[in-house]
Amino acid sequence: MTTPATLDELFPSKYLAASDATEEMIATIKGIEIEMLKNKDTQKDEPKPIVYFNEFEKGMVLNKTNKNTLETLYGNSIADIIGKRVILHAPICESFGKSAPALRFKAQRPPADKATLLKAFSTRFEKARAMKIEGLDRFAASPDMTESEIIKVGKELQAVIEAAEAFA
């Protein structure tokens, strides 16, 4: 018989909890579903939104605090939130007169990873090519560039696309 390492392991949760975020974690939102959960006060089932991530099997119950953070970061449309990356952390929060860690979305976007930046650049580049914008050979992004270099050339390309659209 194996001895658990933590008390939380004695009572596993179906959903992500503060104890799962021992450090900041970056996750990609896969979807939001409504599930029936028991209300602690009334003991009755009620619908609650659950956020699912590509990186975890467990979902996270979406409370109003985290909903407001998501809205601030990415807007109110669920369709626009899917595929977005968030930072999960567990700050100490005051609730019902007690201090305890709570699973939260950090109120800042995670840094873009190189693969995401290159994909976004490629999409812009193909759009510019389809628009038959001249001089595209001066815009190039590659995996050996830094994230900031990719962002810089992507912004320059975006400015050219916007100028071309203004005259179309």
Neighbours of 122 (CB within 10 A): 12
Task: Tell me phi and psi for residue 129, to 5 degrees.
Answer: -65, -45
pTM of this structure? 0.69
- What is the per-residue pLDDT across 48-92, written as a single tens digit (0 to 9) for each? 999 999 999 999 999 999 999 999 999 999 999 998 999 999 999
- Give the burial string for 57-66 (b: 16+ CB within 10 Å, else e): eebbbbeeeb
Domain boundaries defined on the chain: 7-105, 114-167
What does the pLDDT look like over 102-140, one tens digit per residue? 999 999 999 888 888 899 899 999 999 999 999 999 999
